[in-house]
Chain A
């Protein structure tokens, strides 16, 4: 029993160190930002607009690319096809590569000199240093969270329920929207929140495509670069606080939607 206790103490110690490792920099940053500095930051228009931009563009990226990703995730969960493992691996690539490299890759396709860039430009869409470019950069690095979350959620829906819907005369489209999506909703919403969170906090890919207009992570970097640590800390604290409020809100919404259907 004594040895077992020692083992548990060791685990508690190691776990505590991990938590300290995560919490210490955050706590230090909160403590280092004086209330006055925080009040000044809140009233700083550049800060508030960059935070709002991060939130809105991340939400747009999540919603727009979700239209493509959710049906694709269902297909991945339900069907086997040649090169499925390769496709699944490809989906995870944006998460694994350096995000600055991801930004370079996206910029390589979207810049004004490429065929795609010219085509988009001809209909009035420009990506470089534009919100559209920020949306694409955010989506590129965060989409795997939505696809993987939704795929796992669809895979957990018993296939016989979908078969039953078809057997009752439903079209595949009606089956998808009335059976598959509602039953996978919790996982899909979780994927949405993860994608939104990841997109909102993206720096590396975004800064390559659009240094301006500032998103919050780019503004934090810019303040740090121009004015040093003390200037960047209150912006970071404010961004983290806003992010936490949004995430808690979204998580509660997800939880409520889950209760509503049970």
Chain B
């Protein structure tokens, strides 16, 4: 669908690329990286706001590298949505429709359809300055969809929103994915990537340092940088049980029960166990921890600071330990070990 080949851009103090990746039709591709890594620049190059120095950009096999901005069919959603302040919501949504060969009634119908889809029908006569952050982003997405783009380019769309609005907009993005909208999404927030991405690309210093499915990148980071950025490797697809009126819930991974605190609704999601909040013991003492698993040490890896033990307890667990703990526990590969962690060390992110 979208293919970026050896894209590069040189500035006085920064060089992007060469960067290559593909975004499949109907998929949600997330470029994840810290500020200044060049991920937003990639969106600007694809949208034509910046000219490329080298490389090419293809949409559905057509080279659009040198096309004018208005002839790329790649709709850009800005971090701080760029709604036109002098136009009301209806005119904002309908802006691109004036470029199309449509009758007035067709335009009105399309505008109302999109407004309904983004739940902003009640705001059509309002000016952008009177809208909340979440409403602004929903209008912004409706306006982008009106142009009937081949791909949505999302530049940190959730970062300017509060927690509640984020959740609501995340649902909308998930719905767009279900509707088959292709999205290239830039963020520095790994949770956003975890929740939404089919594939993720990790950006660092202008380079795409890793690129693959969420599982490949999060569970097998190719470098210390990727591991640090994603933060977690104890990351599993899980199913959360329905337990109304009870904050202590149970999630299932490969037949293993994990107890956790969560307000998330029951169903599929991602479960993350903090590496530095797992306790190992050679026997089974009585502890307040809600989760107790038995496993085998698979490997022990020396880190720059401390040690990492990889435990197979039905699920693969990465555990951070001090060197002193490794010595006291007399850890070695193949040793049987008890694993404990509190319910509060577990997080569940709904799909």
Contact = CB atoms under 8 A, between A and B. Distances in A.
Given A163-B69, A163-B76, A168 B96 contact: yes
A169 B78 contact: no
Contact of B95 (A170, A172, A183): A170
A164 B76 contact: yes
A183 B86 contact: yes
A88 to B, nearest CB: 24
B295 to A, nearest CB: 52
B74 to A, nearest CB: 8
Given A168-B75, A168-B147, A182 B82 contact: no
B183 interface: no
B283 interface: no
Given A163-B49, A163-B76, A169 B82 contact: no
Interface string B291-325: 00000000000000000000000000000000000
B96 to A, nearest CB: 4
Q: Interface centre among B72, B76, B82, B144, by most A CB within 10 Å? A: B82
Contacts of B99: 168-171, 174
Most chain B CB within a 10 A radius of its CB, from A161, A164, A262: A164
Contact of A170 (B49, B78, B96, B127): B96
B84 A166 contact: no
A170 B76 CA distance: 14
Contacts of B86: 182-183, 261-262
A85 B214 CA distance: 51
A81 to B, nearest CB: 16
B95 A167 contact: no
Contact of B84 (A174, A179, A262): A179
Interface in A158-190: 158, 160-161, 163-172, 174, 178-179, 182-183
B78 A164 contact: yes
A165 B84 contact: yes
Interface in B43-102: 47-49, 68-72, 74-76, 78, 82, 84-86, 95-96, 98-100
Contacts of A178: 95
A166 B78 CA distance: 13
Given A163-B49, A163-B76, A169 B96 contact: yes
Interface in B138-174: 143-144, 146-147
A168 B85 contact: no
Contacts, number: 63
A172 to B, nearest CB: 8
Contacts of A165: 84, 95
A93 B147 CA distance: 46
Nearest to B49: A163
Report, as a range, how many residues of chain B touch the other chain: 20 to 34
B263 to A, nearest CB: 36
B82 A158 contact: yes
A161 B70 contact: no
Contacts of A158: 82
B70 A166 contact: yes
Contacts of B82: 158, 160-161, 163-164
A169 B143 CA distance: 11
Contacts of A171: 70, 99
Nearest to A162: B82
- Name the residue among B69, B85, B146 with the largest chain A CB count within 10 angstroms: B69
B78 A168 contact: no
B88 to A, nearest CB: 11
Nearest to B76: A167
B12 to A, nearest CB: 15
A219 to B, nearest CB: 43
Interface string A93-121: 00000000000000000000000000000
Contacts of B84: 161, 164-165, 179, 183
B78 A160 contact: yes
A129 B75 CA distance: 57
Contact of B143 (A168, A174, A183): A168
Contacts of B144: 168
A172 B84 CA distance: 16
Nearest to A179: B84
B69 A166 contact: yes
Contacts of B70: 166-172
B33 to A, nearest CB: 21
Contacts of A164: 76, 78, 82, 84
A262 B84 CA distance: 11
Contacts of A169: 70-71, 96, 99-100, 147
Interface of A: 158, 160-161, 163-172, 174, 178-179, 182-183, 261-262
Given A164-B76, A165-B84, A178-B95, 10 more contacts: A164-B82, A166-B68, A167-B76, A168-B99, A169-B99, A169-B100, A174-B99, A179-B84, A183-B84, A261-B86
Which 8 A-B pairs have CB atoms at the shortest separation, nearest pair first? A164-B82, A168-B96, A166-B69, A169-B99, A261-B86, A160-B82, A167-B76, A166-B70
16 contacts: A158-B82, A160-B78, A160-B82, A161-B82, A161-B84, A163-B49, A163-B82, A167-B76, A167-B147, A168-B95, A168-B144, A169-B96, A169-B100, A172-B70, A174-B99, A261-B86
